Amino acid sequence: MGKVTSNRSGPVAYINARLLDPATGLDTKGALVTEGGLIADFGPRLFADTPPASVDVVDCEGLCLMPGLVDMRVQLREPGEEHKETIETASAAASAGGVTAMACLPNTDPVLDDVAGIEFIARRAREVKATKVFCYAAATRRLGGTELTEMGLLAETGAVAFTDGLRGIADARVMQRALSYAKTFDLLLVQHPEEPSLAADGAMNAGEMSMRLGLRGIPAVAEVIMIERDLRLVEATGGRYHAAHVSTGAAVDAMRRAKARGLPVTCDTAPPYFTLNETAIGDYRTFAKISPPLRTEEDRVAVLEGLADGTIDAIASDHSPHDQDSKRVPFAQAENGIVGLETLLPLSLALYHNGHVPLLDVLRKLSATPADILRLPLGRLTKGAAADLVLLDLDRPGRIDVDAFRSKSKNSPFENMPVQGQVRRTIVEGRTLFEAD
In this structure, what CATH number is given to the domain that contains residue 346?
A: 3.20.20.140
**Same-domain status, 25 and 129:** no
- Alpha-carbon gap, residue 70 to 72, rounded angstroms: 6
| Residue 318 is among the residues annotated as catalytic for this protein | yes
Question: Please, which residues bridge with residue 428 across strands?
Answer: 431
- Alpha-carbon gap, residue 104 to 141, rounded angstroms: 17
| Percent of the chain scoring above 90 in pLDDT | 95
Residue 344 φ/ψ, nearest 5 degrees: -55, -50
pLDDT at 8 over 80: no
pLDDT reported for residue 53? 79
pLDDT reported for residue 9? 63
pLDDT at 7 over 90: no
399-418 tens-digit pLDDT: 999 999 999 999 999 999 99
Global confidence as pTM: 0.96
**Same-domain status, 54 and 132:** no
pLDDT at 4 over 60: no
Per the CB < 8 A criterion, the answer to whether 316 and 370 are in contact is yes
Domains in the chain, number: 2
**Same-domain status, 221 and 103:** yes
Confidence class for position 3, pLDDT limits 50, 70, 90:
very low
Helix (H) or strand (E) holding 300: helix 297-309
**Same-domain status, 327 and 224:** yes
41-96 tens-digit pLDDT: 999 989 877 778 789 999 999 999 999 999 999 999 999 999 999 999 999 999 99
pLDDT at 2 over 90: no
pLDDT at 29 over 80: yes
**Same-domain status, 293 and 364:** yes
- Which domain does 409 fall in, by range? 12-66+386-435
Q: Annotated catalytic residue: which of 318, 372, 388, 393?
A: 318
pLDDT reported for residue 384? 97
**Same-domain status, 229 and 357:** yes
**Same-domain status, 99 and 109:** yes
Per the CB < 8 A criterion, the answer to whether 179 and 237 are in contact is yes
**Same-domain status, 59 and 74:** no
Residue 3 falls inside a structural domain = no
Give me the CATH number covering residue 391.
2.30.40.10
107-136 tens-digit pLDDT: 999 999 999 999 999 999 999 999 999 999
- Alpha-carbon gap, residue 281 to 29, rounded angstroms: 44
Torsion sign (Cα): 142, 147, 149, 151: positive
Rounded mean pLDDT of 19-24?
98
